Amino acid sequence: MKTETTPEEARADLPIHSVAVIGAGSIGIAWSIVFACAGINVRICELDDTRRDSALASAESLLSEMEGAGLLSQATAGILERMSVWEELSDAVSGVGYVQECVVEDVDVKRELFRQLDQLTPHDVVLASSTSTIPSSKFASDLPGRARCLVVHPANPPYFLRVAEVVPAEFTSPTAVATTVSILKRAQIFSVHLNSEIEGFALNRLQGALLREAYCLVQDGVISAVDVDTLVREGLGRRWSVIGPFTTSELNTRGGLRQHSEVLGPVYARLGLERGHENPWTPDTINTVAKAIEQNLPFASWEENVRQRDHAMIQIASRLKGFDNPLVQCESE
């Protein structure tokens, strides 16, 4: 049995006081806000002069609006004081405990940047990529310090959608993962752990499944594009703001998810076949999913669980009362 804590594991528990964010596009600015709001100093690196000059103003504009809406626990000015902008990569990463890379989605650009980051930082500094689709083994596998490289893919924008996918490569150390989860927790971001690298990770695969069907429905002339958006925005999306699709199946059907899969599994399998996908839900997988959901929501309390879902929906509805969505008017024009 392992009894001693290695220096690296001990370091994973140490608070990180400053991070570097590389790239000041929309994702870089968003991560900077998330970390600075959590009390962490953020050193932003941006190559482009115009973007570098406007980075703090972009952050200030978003933070001020969030402050006006009562979303910040401290004043914008105090949060901005923790942000600095740098041109040179070596200056930006000096003394940081964690790096969040947010440059263009180009594997060659990321490979060259990670090569430099690996040389410029001690090997216990985590190097996380925000990439939406590229596994870190495609750009970090040859590096001497590859054990601290991984993907931390945020939902966009991360200051509102507080979840990120943590995707280690085979070579990523458990310490790097633990440090990452710890800093995300401090920044109030839920971590979703992927057990293996897969192109598109999970979030974009889920989004892709919905988009594939949406495009097919429009292409087949079944529904307009605007109505697809309305169905998701007013229906699925509203419900998904309090429960995910598996919990939806659990609570929408008397008999729970197991009953839901029995009745609707064959229907969904047929619909999939219509689109050329043959991947029916197996009894084993249904059992795995049901057991996971029932752990949080015991089936014996099904009626109470449904009441809690309704309670959550009522709270959302009451917060959205009077919400005038400017984008909906644009959609119907």
Ligand X SMILES: NC(=O)c1ccc[n+]([C@@H]2O[C@H](COP(=O)([O-])OP(=O)(O)OC[C@H]3O[C@@H](n4cnc5c(N)ncnc54)[C@H](O)[C@@H]3O)[C@@H](O)[C@H]2O)c1
Contact residues: ligand X, CB under 6 A? 22-28, 45-48, 51, 102-105, 109, 113, 130-132, 153-154, 156
Q: Which of 205, 293, 231, 281 is nearest to 256 (CA)?
A: 293
DSSP 8-state code for residue 171: T
Task: Evaluate whether 86 touches 56 at the Cβ level (below 8 Å).
Answer: no
Q: Tell me how far, at minimum, the Cβ of 13 lies from ligand X, in Å.
A: 28
Angle at 197 between CA 195 and CA 202, to 5 degrees: 75
Q: How far apart are CA 87 and CA 110, in angstroms?
A: 17
Smaller CB separation from ligand X, 24 or 187: 24
CA R_g for the chain:
22
- Smallest distance, ligand X to C-beta of residue 163, A: 11
* In the complex, least distance from residue 247 CB atom to ligand X, rounded to whole angstroms: 25
Supply the minimum distance, in Å, between the C-beta of residue 106 and ligand X.
8
**Helices and strands (DSSP H and E) totals, the chain:** 16, 8
- Asked if residue 100 lies in contact with residue 20, where contact means CB atoms within 8 angstroms, the answer is yes
Q: Are 26 and 190 in contact (CB under 8 A)?
A: no
Task: State the residue number with the nearest CB to ligand X.
Answer: 25
For residue 120, the minimal CB distance to ligand X (Å) is: 12
Looking at beta carbons only, is 74 or 116 nearer to ligand X? 116
Instruction: Tell how far CA 121 is from the center of its chain.
Output: 25
**5-22 burial by CB neighbour count: b if 16+ within 10 A, else e?**
eeebeebbeeebebbbbb
| Beta-ladder partners of 128 | 100, 150
- Closer to ligand X by CB, 44 or 257: give it: 44
Residue 27 or 99 with smaller CB distance to ligand X: 27
Q: Which is nearer to ligand X, 110 or 260 (CB)?
A: 110
Q: Closest distance between ligand X and the C-beta of residue 3, in Å?
A: 40
- Rounded to the nearest whole angstrom, what is the least distance from the CB of residue 28 to ligand X in the complex? 6
C-beta of 42 vs 102, nearer to ligand X:
102
Question: Would you tell me the crossing angle of helices 256-274 and 283-296 to the nearest 10 degrees?
Answer: 140
